[in-house]
Amino acid sequence: GESVGLHLPTLSVQEGDNSIINCAYSNSASDYFIWYKQESGKGPQFIIDIRSNMDKRQGQRVTVLLNKTVKHLSLQIAATQPGDSAVYFCAEIYYGGSQGNLIFGKGTKLSVKP
Partner 1 sequence: DTGVSQNPRHKITKRGQNVTFRCDPISEHNRLYWYRQTLGQGPEFLTYFQNEAQLEKSRLLSDRFSAERPKGSFSTLEIQRTEQGDSAMYLCASSSDMIEAFFGQGTRLTVV
Contacts to partner 1 by CB under 8 A: 4, 32, 34, 41-46, 49, 89, 91, 93, 95, 98-107
Q: Which is nearer to partner 1, 29 or 79 (CB)?
A: 29
Nearest distance from residue 23's CB to partner 1, in Å? Answer: 11
C-alpha pair distances (Å), 39 with each of 17, 23, 51, 99: 20, 19, 25, 28
Q: Which is nearer to partner 1, 79 or 102 (CB)?
A: 102
Nearest distance from residue 87's CB to partner 1, in Å? Answer: 9
Nearest distance from residue 73's CB to partner 1, in Å? Answer: 14
Nearest distance from residue 21's CB to partner 1, in Å? Answer: 13
* Integer Cα distance of 28 and 63 in angstroms: 21
C-alpha pair distances (Å), 69 with each of 8, 51, 95: 20, 15, 20
Q: Which is nearer to partner 1, 42 or 60 (CB)?
A: 42
- The residue type at 70: V
Q: Within 13 A of 34's CA, how many CA atoms are on the CB side?
A: 17
* Integer Cα distance of 5 and 46 in angstroms: 18
Q: Which is nearer to partner 1, 13 or 104 (CB)?
A: 104
